[in-house]
Chains A and B, each alone.
Chain A
């Protein structure tokens, strides 16, 4: 068995404030294999984006890692000096942000931003970089790339700009792309195109993707495996089909039950959506034991006292005493 491309072990991220140290990520472990697409789902504030930022070494102060390790291809990157890490960022790990409208610098032409990135990471002439930038723009589906390369970001639509962002991320041929809600800010009609594009690019190039989203439809469409996050912890992680069809963690089950589905309705299901009572706890008030226990209909005494570990259950790993004991 070969080593996974990315391995996150016991990651812990804290945001200290005046009164307390808020634990945003608590003991999160997962791996991403080469060419694999891992979906990371959960409600807002579950720690999805913070996990992505931690891998990139781009946590916003005062947030910082207080435990665990992150390895890229076996090499630890979380303890690397900043100028070494900088050469990995953008070069081996690319990141797509949520809002393509604000991700591009408004005062520079898109071509200049692409060639700049290439030339920072590789010894390549301006002319070669430009030729490759045009090819890349064509690859991400931008019509007339030889003209568009000299456009300013404001001259392109949101969907086009997200394609440019993808070209910018791909221009250094990264092994891993972290896509943080890449379609949330886009029109619904454009979302599907961008998702299909990310999937095709990853497949063609053998690039691994960590796809952060709260859209289960997107996960079902492109991911190989999915991790469900809750209150800074992983509740369940496993192959996408199994987790979506037969979720084991009560939170994952609640999440899947809250998705409207035409197929379910057609199959004679009454089509009623289930609701998880209550809200996700604030970081300052995460309950003892399992973080989900106050909202869980099946909680037992052990759930309130002892935190469940992520243990194998069927094809997945689940952190729930009801499932794993």
Chain B
């Protein structure tokens, strides 16, 4: 078990180092930071000094080592465009994105599982057919279109919800939250729906398919033959077996919720990391791009790590097989 955890953590670190190498290589291949920062009027002397100050004259391995060491502490240098520390920029924008992504993920996994189970158990009911029909919209319409549609309906026509921004936020230390004010909460509704809808329908369809599969297995038949109540069979025996593959996909999707947040944030002018990244791309602000790349990688890796560990809790078969692989037990 411990060997399994160590192995997962080791793999995670390896992935991060590889992504760091990619992020680092952006500095060398995309644009010239000195030209970007110094502007056209700067003298040759200014340029050399700036390159020296940014450490661009050192050998490449040393620059990479320095990059790694700084990245480990969340430091990615100065933003070329804004002239501020990237870490400060990220810290400022992160709460908006995390709040949006976590709420979307909760919405998607919670309702996705619930509706998936419902449509599997009552697969011939009207309710299930309607839910399945609506879910087709979720899997086939692009996110921005849903966002724009929502804005048109609830902000332009009905004027119930704000069409952009986070509304009022409250500062809790360095973290800002929109959950504590009415306007903050109202501002969250549409972005969360937009971002979560695709994942919700995906998870729902996945849970449904898995659940139908599980309900056909021998152990479910045997549970019926033992006279267990149907609800117990469905929720205790079938659902837990359904969740193993669902956790995998849901975990991966959670990562992409943060990545997809770029689109949603653009549609709703949400002051999060996605918007920061889009600006950074426009201005070839490489430190910010590198930091964002690392941020997304860390999110994916951490989520995957959690998924790996959740498996073991859900399916005891993995515990013993990994123990054998790890030479333990």
Contact = CB atoms under 8 A, between A and B. Distances in A.
Given A97-B221, A103-B219, A105-B219, A152 B226 contact: no
B15 interface: no
Given A105-B237, A105-B241, A154 B226 contact: no
A107 B228 contact: no
A155 interface: yes
A165 B317 contact: no
Contact of B217 (A91, A102, A117, A120): A102
Given A106-B315, A154-B320, A58 B221 contact: yes
Interface stretch (A9-17, A81-89, A199-207): A81-89
Given A102-B217, A165-B222, A107 B240 contact: yes
B232 interface: yes
A288 interface: no
B222 A97 contact: yes
B296 interface: no
Interface string B213-257: 000011101111111111010000100110000000000000000
B316 interface: yes
Most chain B beta-carbon neighbours within 10 Å: one of A87, A105, A109, A120: A105
Contacts of A107: 240-241, 314-316
A117 B218 contact: no
Contacts of A89: 224-227
Interface string A167-190: 011001000000000000000000
Contacts of B224: 58, 89
A43 B175 CA distance: 72
Q: Chain A interface residue count: which class?
A: 20 to 34
Contacts of B317: 106, 152, 154
A90 interface: yes
A304 interface: no
A186 B121 CA distance: 33
Contacts of A121: 227
B314 A87 contact: no
Nearest to A87: B227
B92 to A, nearest CB: 44
Interface string B286-302: 00000000000000000
Contact of B227 (A120, A155, A165): A120
A102 B218 contact: yes
A116 B226 CA distance: 10
B228 A97 contact: no
Contacts of A102: 217-219
Contact of A120 (B219, B228, B237, B316): B228
Interface string A66-94: 00000000000000000000111111001
Given A102-B218, A107-B315, A58 B226 contact: no
Interface string B268-299: 00000000000000000000000000000000
A227 interface: no
A95 B315 contact: no
Contact of A90 (B228, B230, B237): B228
A168 B226 contact: yes
B177 to A, nearest CB: 38
B222 A86 contact: no
A90 B232 CA distance: 15
B219 A58 contact: no
Nearest to A89: B227
A121 B225 CA distance: 12
A56 interface: yes
Given A120-B232, A155-B320, A58 B240 contact: no
A121 B228 CA distance: 8
Nearest to B319: A152
A106 B228 contact: no
Contact of A105 (B223, B229, B230): B223
B225 A152 contact: no
Nearest to A101: B218
A99 interface: yes
A104 interface: yes
Contact of B225 (A94, A106, A116): A94
Nearest to B237: A105
B321 to A, nearest CB: 8
A106 B241 CA distance: 8
Contacts of B314: 107
Contacts of B315: 106-107
B223 to A, nearest CB: 7
Contacts of A168: 222, 226
A88 B227 contact: yes
A90 B218 contact: no
A108 B320 CA distance: 14
Contacts of B228: 86, 90, 116-117, 120
Nearest to A102: B218
Nearest to B232: A120
A181 B221 CA distance: 15
Contacts of A116: 228, 232
Contacts of A91: 227
Given A105-B241, A120-B232, A152-B317, A86 B218 contact: no
A309 B216 CA distance: 37
Given A102-B218, A152-B320, A168-B222, 11 more contacts: A58-B225, A99-B218, A103-B218, A104-B219, A105-B219, A106-B316, A109-B316, A120-B227, A120-B228, A120-B232, A172-B227
28 contacts: A58-B221, A86-B227, A86-B228, A87-B227, A89-B225, A89-B226, A89-B227, A90-B225, A90-B226, A90-B227, A95-B225, A97-B218, A102-B219, A103-B218, A105-B219, A106-B219, A106-B315, A106-B317, A107-B314, A117-B226, A117-B227, A120-B228, A120-B229, A120-B232, A152-B316, A169-B226, A172-B226, A172-B227
Interface of B: 217-219, 221-230, 232, 237, 240-241, 314-317, 320
